[in-house]
Amino acid sequence: MISMQGYADAVRPVLDRLLDSEADGIARAADLIAASLRDGGVLHAFGAGHSEAFAAELVARAGGLVPTNRLTVRDVVVHGDAPREVLDDPKLERDPTIAHQIYELAAPQPRDVFVVASQSGINGSVVELATLVKKRGHELIAVTSVEHTARVAPRHPSGRRLADIADVVLDNGAPYGDALLPLEGGGAVCAVSSVTAALLAQLLTAEVVRRFHLAGEAPPVYLSANVPGGDEHNHALESRYAGRIRRTA
């Protein structure tokens, strides 16, 4: 039955499987991120469509890591010189050419690390950005649905998927089509990739912070801006990365 309880019952085993199956991948991804941040690097997170939720979970939030930068397809307008009208295209994420603008506007340093999230892992901007990131020598972590990406044809001219390019691939555990609850007449409702992406983001954060602690170093972590002293604490840490991390409304 499609209901609140039905969805809760369907989500729990997905989360349990993710915690079991992705532990090694999370550890390897955390190693890459921690090494970059401890060397003064920044974590750049990109997700198109609903995968933006993963990047938002990693970047500029209470209890999260300060040296993080969120990349979106909107950057070509908000931070670049592309006309506003380009955002009227609902399939803009399929355009490989915008990946180059997104990367250049981020102006990453060689020591920076990237995380790219995509449920399908096949769209042009996602695959092109991943390809560019690796060509420029950065470490790359992918978050994708292994089941979904294996069942759909790549849209990138190279014929490659995000999972083919990354140094570490984290499976978000979502099924083909993302939704969990089947409808009687076909199709399904209630997606899960945003739920599992949020979990993966927080698991990564926890493991990166643990690596700072093991090295005897204080991790650069945000306080809530809505507690006394939060703004002062956060601004002091952000100043270390001036011009390298974006904090806009």
Question: What pLDDT is recorded for position 68?
Answer: 98
**pTM given for the model:** 0.96
> What single letter denotes the amino acid at residue 208?
V
Share of the chain above pLDDT 90, in %: 97
Q: Locate tokens 């955002």: which residue? A: 87
Question: What pLDDT is recorded for position 40?
Answer: 97
Q: What are phi and psi of 182, to 5 degrees?
A: -70, 145
- DSSP character string of 48-62: -GGGHHHHHHHSS-T
Beta strands 188-191 and 179-182: pairing type? antiparallel
Question: What pLDDT is recorded for position 156?
Answer: 94
Of the candidates 126, 80, 131, the one whose C-alpha atom is nearest the C-alpha of residue 101 is: 80
**DSSP letter at 169?**
E
To the nearest 10°, the Cα dihedral for 219, 220, 223, 225? -170
Question: What pLDDT is recorded for position 38?
Answer: 98
Confidence band for 242, pLDDT divided at 50, 70 and 90: very high
249 has pLDDT over 80: no
d(CA 166, CA 134): 8
Question: What pLDDT is recorded for position 1?
Answer: 76
Q: Average of pLDDT values for 8-31?
A: 97
Spell out where the chain has E strands: 43-47, 68-71, 113-117, 139-144, 168-171, 179-182, 188-191
Question: What pLDDT is recorded for position 248?
Answer: 83
Q: Average of pLDDT values for 92-112?
A: 96
Q: Average of pLDDT values for 31-52?
A: 96
Q: Average of pLDDT values for 194-216?
A: 98
5 has pLDDT over 90: yes
How does pLDDT run across 174-202, given as a tens digit for each residue? 999 999 999 998 999 999 999 999 999 99
How does pLDDT run across 118-164, given as a tens digit for each residue? 999 999 999 999 999 999 999 999 999 999 999 999 999 999 999 99
